[in-house]
Chains A and B, each alone.
Chain A
Amino acid sequence: MTRSLPFLLLLSACGESSRSPLADEPFIPPSCGAEPLTPRPDADGEFYGSETVGYAFLGALHYQDERSNATLSVPQAGTICLRGTVAAGQFAYAELILGLDEHSVDGKCRWPLLDARAFGAASLRFSLDEVPDTHLFLTAAVFQRGECPEGEFGCVAGGIYTLLTPDREELLLLHPGVNLAPFADFVGNELSVPLDTSRLSFFTLRLAPTNRALDFAFCLSELAFLDAAGHEVVPSPRGP
C-alpha cells in the first residue's frame, strides 16, 4: 500500500542491483549515454545552478511538488547557501548536493568520482550556520558499476549510504557549527557492507520531509576532508 520515496524510485530506475558493490570488485565506468551529474539550470527548474567551491561542485534540487523550491547562492568564496520552501508530505524535500571531483572515467565522459581512500580521507568536515526546523542529515553516494542509460542517478543506484549515529539507531542530525561525518558511520542497504570510499560520487545534505510546509535557509562552509588523525587532507590533482 505504500510507495518508495521518489528519490529512491529515481535511483532504482536504472534497474541495477540494489546491493552495494564489494570494494575489491573491478570498477566498470558508466555508459556515456548518461548525462553527467553537474547541476545546471534546466527548463523545468529542477536544478538551480552550478557553483564551484574548492574541489567540489554543489547544487540543489527538489522533487515532485510544484510548491517546493530551492535557490542556491555563493555569498563568498567557500560558502554555499540554500534557501527555499519544502511542501508538506512524505514526498517533498530539498537537498544540497556536494558533488565530488569530476573525472573522466573512460576517456570520454566526465563523472563525479573521487577516490578518497587514495589520499587517506576518513571523514568529511563542514560548518553550518544554522539548520532548518526539521531533521537535516547527510547521505553519501557511491558510484556503482554498470550502465545507467536512464539517468544520471542510475549510476549510484543501490549505492546510497546514510550517516547514522555510532550505534546505528538514529540519523546523525546535522547541527549549527562544525559537523564531522566519519565515513565509518555511513550505512547502506546492508549493514555489513562499508562505504566504499574509493568510489565516492557525491554527498547530499537532505531535509527530512515534514507534515507542514517548511521555509528553510542555511549556509555551508569550511568543507574539508580529514584523515583518521583529524588532519585535513586534500585530493590528488584532477585527472584528465
Chain B
Amino acid sequence: MLARRSAALWPRSLTRGALLLATTLLGCFDVHEVDTSGTSVAWPRVRIVDDFENANGLPTWSLLTPWICNTWPAPGACTAGSADPGLGRGRAGFLSFDVTSPGGAELTAQTLVAGLDLGRYDELAFTATLEAGEGGALPPWVEVRVQLDCPNAAEVGFDRDGQSVSVMSAGSPIADGRAQRFVLRLASMTQPTWQDWERIDPRRCLADVTALAFEISAVGAGLSLAGTLSVDDVELYAYAGGAPNAADSRFSPWYCFGAPGIACDESRELPVATFPGARDPDLPNRFCTDAVKVDPIDHTLGTDTRNFASLGSLSFAAHFASADSGKTEPARFGVRLGCGALSAGFPAVMREVEIFPAWSSYRLPIASFDPYPYPIGFDNVEGCLEQVDQICLEGLPGAAEPAGTLMLDELVLR
C-alpha cells in the first residue's frame, strides 16, 4: 500500500501531564455552513480490485474471475498466480513470461457479470515490480499497459482473432525489482490504434468493461522479453470533485494503523475510522492521509509535502459516534500534521479538537498547532508547517482514547 509509515514510538515513561498539549476548543458549526472558499484537500474513495490475499486466487472484488496469463503471438509462454511475500505485505499477483517482441504477455481477470461500469471512477492505481529473468535483461523501454476490454461498447466487439476492443494506458516500471506505485487516469485511456476495425468512444468503453489486463510489451522486433511482473493493491479511486490535476493538492486515501482494533473503511464516500478505545502504549491509533503527487510523465506515485506555514487555517467537518450509545459529550482528538521529511523520528505538530456526536465543522488556525511530544525536544513548528506530508487524527497523547466511529468530510485549507 501507499507509504503506511510506522508511527513514532511512545516512551512509556512520560507522564500524562507532560503529554497534554495546550489546547483551544473552537466553536463548532452546522456542517452546511462550512466556508469552502479555500483549497479543498482531494482524497479518493477506494474500490479495492484485488489485494491478492486470497489463496484461492479469488480477487477482492467479487465481480472478477481469478487472474490468468496469456501470451502472443504464441500462447502459453507464461505462468501466473499469487505469491507470498507480496509487494510490502501479504501476497502479490505475478506474471512470469518468456516471449519475443513484438509479442507480449498479459495478466488478466474477467468480469463475472455482463460488464462493469468503471466510469464511476477517476483513476486506477496499482503497485508493480518488474524483474528480468535470470541472467537476462529487459529492454529499458518495456511498458506495463493496463487494458480494459469492452466488446459491448462496439458494434463489432471482437476482431477475427477474438481480440476485444479496449482502452489502455501505460506505466513504465524500472526493471530492477523495485516496487513502484502507478496511478492512471481513466479518462485519459485511449483505444489502441491497431484496433482499426471499429473506433469506440472511450467513455462508453469505461462504462461497460468485461476484462482488466496488465500487459507487458515493448517496441521493436526480436527482443527477448523474459521476466516477472508482480502486481499488488490494484485499486480504483473516485474523487468527490473529479480527479485532481497534477498541480492540485492531492492526498492519499485515508488509512489507519495502530492497535488491532482500529479499522478504516476507505470504500465509503466519506472516510470512516473506528477507534477501539484502547491502544498499544508504544503505537498510537491514527487515522491519516498522506500528501502525494503523481508524475505526469510516468504516472508513478510519490510522496509530497505541503507548505502549511503560509496558510491561515485548516477546516473540516466531522462527527463522532461513541461506542457508548448513551454518551453525548464530545470526544477529544488531536489533529496531527506530520513532517517526516524534516528530520528523523517522525516529527509533527498537533492541536486538540473536541468532536461532537452531531455533524459539525471545525476551523483550526494553523498558528495554534504546537510541537508533538515526540521526538522529545522537537520544537521546530515553523519548519514542520512548511513541510507537512501527513494529516492524522488520533487520540490525545497520554489521554484515554475515545471509543467509537469517526467520520470526516470537507477538509479545506485557507
When the two chains form the complex, which single residue of B66, B114, B210 contacts A210, counting CB atoms closer than 8 Å? Answer: B66
Within 8 A of B (CB), among A157-208: 160, 162, 164, 169-171, 173, 187-189, 191, 208
In angstroms, how far is the closest chain B Cβ from the Cβ of A115?
24
Residue of A nearest to B163 (CB): A1
Contact B114 A2 (CB under 8 A): no
Contact A211 B72 (CB under 8 A): no
Contact B152 A90 (CB under 8 A): no
Contact A5 B65 (CB under 8 A): yes
In angstroms, how far is the closest chain B Cβ from the Cβ of A10?
15
CA distance A174 to B200 in the complex (A): 37
When the two chains form the complex, which single residue of B81, B109, B110, B147 contacts A4, counting CB atoms closer than 8 Å? Answer: B110
A133 at interface by CB-CB < 8 Å: yes
Contact A90 B66 (CB under 8 A): yes
| Complex interface: chain A residues within 8 A of B114 (CB) | 18, 160, 162, 188-189
Size range of the interface on B? 35 or more
A209 at interface by CB-CB < 8 Å: yes
| Complex interface: chain B residues within 8 A of A164 (CB) | 63, 113
Within 8 A of A (CB), among B151-185: 151-152, 162-164
Within 8 A of B (CB), among A202-240: 208-212, 214
A209/B163 contact (C-beta < 8 A), A135-B58, A169-B47 known:
no
Contact B68 A210 (CB under 8 A): no
Contact A135 B215 (CB under 8 A): no
A2/B211 contact (C-beta < 8 A), A162-B113, A170-B63 known:
yes
CA distance A10 to B226 in the complex (A): 35
B219 at interface by CB-CB < 8 Å: no
B37-55 vs A, CB cutoff 8 Å, 1 = contact: the mask equals: 0000000000100000000
Contact B152 A189 (CB under 8 A): yes
| Complex interface: chain B residues within 8 A of A188 (CB) | 114
A211/B152 contact (C-beta < 8 A), A170-B63, A173-B62 known:
no
Contact B164 A2 (CB under 8 A): yes
Residue of A nearest to B81 (CB): A211
Contact B56 A214 (CB under 8 A): yes
Within 8 A of A (CB), among B51-88: 56-58, 61-63, 65-68, 70, 72, 81-82
CA distance A5 to B114 in the complex (A): 10
When the two chains form the complex, which single residue of A1, A169, A187, A210 contacts B57, counting CB atoms closer than 8 Å? Answer: A210
A12-29 vs B, CB cutoff 8 Å, 1 = contact: the mask equals: 000000100000000000
Contact A208 B61 (CB under 8 A): no
Residue of A nearest to B149 (CB): A2
Residue of B nearest to A160 (CB): B114
| Complex interface: chain A residues within 8 A of B82 (CB) | 211
CA distance A92 to B121 in the complex (A): 31
A137 at interface by CB-CB < 8 Å: yes
| Complex interface: chain B residues within 8 A of A169 (CB) | 47
| Complex interface: chain A residues within 8 A of B232 (CB) | none
In angstroms, how far is the closest chain B Cβ from the Cβ of A166?
14
Contact A90 B65 (CB under 8 A): yes
Contact B108 A1 (CB under 8 A): yes
| Complex interface: chain B residues within 8 A of A108 (CB) | none
| Complex interface: chain B residues within 8 A of A208 (CB) | 58, 62, 65, 112
A64 at interface by CB-CB < 8 Å: no
Residue of B nearest to A206 (CB): B112
CA distance A208 to B54 in the complex (A): 13
CA distance A173 to B63 in the complex (A): 11
B352 at interface by CB-CB < 8 Å: no
CA distance A137 to B63 in the complex (A): 10
CA distance A2 to B162 in the complex (A): 8
In angstroms, how far is the closest chain B Cβ from the Cβ of A113?
22
CA distance A162 to B109 in the complex (A): 18
| Complex interface: chain A residues within 8 A of B371 (CB) | none
Residue of B nearest to A165 (CB): B62
CA distance A90 to B70 in the complex (A): 12
In angstroms, how far is the closest chain A Cβ from the Cβ of B301?
24
CA distance A81 to B290 in the complex (A): 51
Residue of A nearest to B211 (CB): A2
A171/B70 contact (C-beta < 8 A), A2-B164, A160-B114, A211-B56 known:
no
Residue of B nearest to A19 (CB): B152
Among B110, B149, B152, B162, max chain A CB count under 10 A is at B110
A89 at interface by CB-CB < 8 Å: yes
| Complex interface: chain B residues within 8 A of A1 (CB) | 70, 72, 106, 108, 147, 149, 163-164, 213, 215
A2/B66 contact (C-beta < 8 A), A170-B61, A187-B113, A188-B114 known:
no
Name B's A-contacting residues (CB within 8 A).
47, 56-58, 61-63, 65-68, 70, 72, 81-82, 106, 108-110, 112-115, 117, 147, 149, 151-152, 162-164, 210-211, 213, 215
Name A's B-contacting residues (CB within 8 A).
1-5, 18, 89-90, 133-135, 137, 160, 162, 164, 169-171, 173, 187-189, 191, 208-212, 214
Interface pairs A-B: 10 shortest CB-CB: A211-B57, A171-B62, A189-B114, A210-B56, A2-B211, A211-B66, A90-B65, A170-B62, A162-B113, A90-B68
Q: Can you report 17 residue pairs joining A to B where beta carbons are below 8 Å apart? A: A1-B163, A1-B215, A2-B70, A2-B110, A4-B110, A5-B112, A89-B66, A90-B65, A169-B47, A170-B62, A170-B63, A173-B62, A209-B66, A210-B57, A211-B66, A211-B81, A212-B56
